[in-house]
Amino acid sequence: MPIAPITLLFGVHAHQPVGNFPAVIDDAHARCYGMFIRVMERYPDFRFSVHFSGWLLDYLLEKFPADMVRLAAMTRRGQVEWFGSGDCEPVLAAIPQRDRITQINTLSDKISRHFGVRPKGAWLTERVWESSVVSALTATGIQYVAVDDYHFLCAGADATKLNSFYTTEDDGQRLDLFPINEAARYRLPFSSAAEAVAWLEDLARQGRHAAIYFDDIEKFGIWPETYAWVYEQKWLTQFIEGVLASPLIRTDTYANYHAHEKTRGIVYLPTTSYIEMNEWTLPAPQASVYHALLETEKAAGRFEAHKAFLRGGIWRNFMSRYPEANWMHKRMLDVSQRLADLPTAQRTAEMQEHLHRAQANDAYWHGLFGGLYLPHLRRAVWRNLLLLEADLERILPSPALACRDIDSDGRDEITLRNGKLLAIIRKDGDAALAEFSSLALAHNFGDTLRRHAESYHQKIDAGKQKKVGADEATALQGGRAKDAALQTWDSASRAGLLAVADGETAATEKNGISSAHDRIAFIHDISPADAMPDPRPRGIAIDTLIADGARHALDHYRPGDTPAGFIAEGDGWRMEKHYTLHGDTLEIAYRLTGEATNTCQVETQLNLAMPSCDGFGGRYILADGSIPGGFGQTLTLTGLSQITLADSELDGGAVHLTAVPPAPTFSGQPHYTVSQSEAGFEKVMQAVCLTLRWSTPGEWQRITLKTISAA
> pLDDT tens digit string along 110-134?
999 999 999 999 999 999 999 999 9
pLDDT tens per residue across span 47-71: 999 999 999 999 999 999 999 999 9
Where along the chain do its domains lie? 6-273, 468-521, 532-708
Q: How many residues does the chain have?
A: 711
Model pLDDT, residue 577: 98
Q: How far apart are alpha carbons 591 and 657 in whole angstroms?
A: 19
Bridge partners for 34 per DSSP: none
In this structure, are strands 550-553 and 540-547 parallel, antiparallel, or unpaired? antiparallel
Q: How far apart are alpha carbons 406 and 428 in whole angstroms?
A: 13
Annotation: CATH topology of 6-273:
7-stranded beta/alpha barrel (3.20.110)
What is the identity of the amino acid at 211?
A: A
Q: How far apart are alpha carbons 672 and 686 in whole angstroms?
A: 6
CB 414 within 8 A of CB 563: yes
Residue 614 has pLDDT above 70, yes or no: yes
For residue 182, which of 152, 143, 208 has the smallest C-alpha distance?
A: 152
For residue 400, which of 382, 419, 387 has the smallest C-alpha distance?
A: 419
pLDDT tens per residue across span 9-50: 999 999 999 999 999 999 999 999 999 999 999 999 999 999
Model pLDDT, residue 521: 64
Residues near 224 by beta carbon (within 8 Å), at least 6 away in sequence: 482, 483, 486, 514, 516, 519, 521, 678, 679
Grade residue 368 by pLDDT with cuts at 50, 70 and 90: confident
Ranges of beta strands (E only) in 201-243 are: 210-216
Model pLDDT, residue 460: 75
Q: Which residue has better confidence, 488 or 187? A: 187
Residue 279 has pLDDT above 50, yes or no: yes
Q: How far apart are alpha carbons 246 and 384 in whole angstroms?
A: 50
CB 522 within 8 A of CB 467: yes
| Helix, strand, coil shares, percent, the chain, to 5 | 35, 30, 35
CA atoms within 13 A on the CB side of 590: 32
Model pLDDT, residue 463: 57
Q: Is-cis flag, bond preceding 323, omega within 30?
A: no
Grade residue 526 by pLDDT with cuts at 50, 70 and 90: confident
Grade residue 710 by pLDDT with cuts at 50, 70 and 90: confident
Q: Which residue has better confidence, 224 or 512? A: 224
Residues with catalytic roles: 126, 216
Q: What is the mean pLDDT of residues 461-466?
A: 57
Burial class (CB in 10 A: 0-12, 13-18, 19+), 132: middle
Model pLDDT, residue 679: 66
Long-range contacts at 366-370 (CB < 8 A, ≥ 24 apart): 366/280, 366/318, 366/322, 366/454, 366/675, 367/276, 367/277, 367/280, 367/281, 368/276, 368/280, 368/516, 368/517, 368/676, 368/677, 368/678, 369/677, 369/678, 370/280, 370/318
Which CATH architecture best describes the domain 532-708? Distorted Sandwich (2.70)
Distances (CA, A) of 6 to 260, 364, 408: 15, 39, 50
Supply the mean pLDDT for the chain.
Answer: 91
Residue 681 has pLDDT above 90, yes or no: no
CB 46 within 8 A of CB 79: yes
Model pLDDT, residue 711: 60
pLDDT tens per residue across span 147-165: 999 999 999 999 999 999 9
Q: What is the mean pLDDT of residues 246-269?
A: 98
CB 524 within 8 A of CB 683: yes
Say which range, 305-319, 491-505, 562-576, has the weakest mean pLDDT: 491-505
Model pLDDT, residue 230: 98
Radius of gyration, alpha carbons of the chain: 27
Q: Is-cis flag, bond preceding 179, omega within 30?
A: no
Residues near 127 by beta carbon (within 8 Å), at least 6 away in sequence: 146, 147, 148, 151, 180, 273, 274, 277
Residue 663 has pLDDT above 90, yes or no: yes
Residue 474 has pLDDT above 60, yes or no: no
Q: Which residue has better confidence, 88 or 508? A: 88
What is the identity of the amino acid at 587?
A: E
Model pLDDT, residue 522: 61
Q: Hey, how many other C-beta atoms are within 10 angstroms of the C-beta on 45?
A: 10
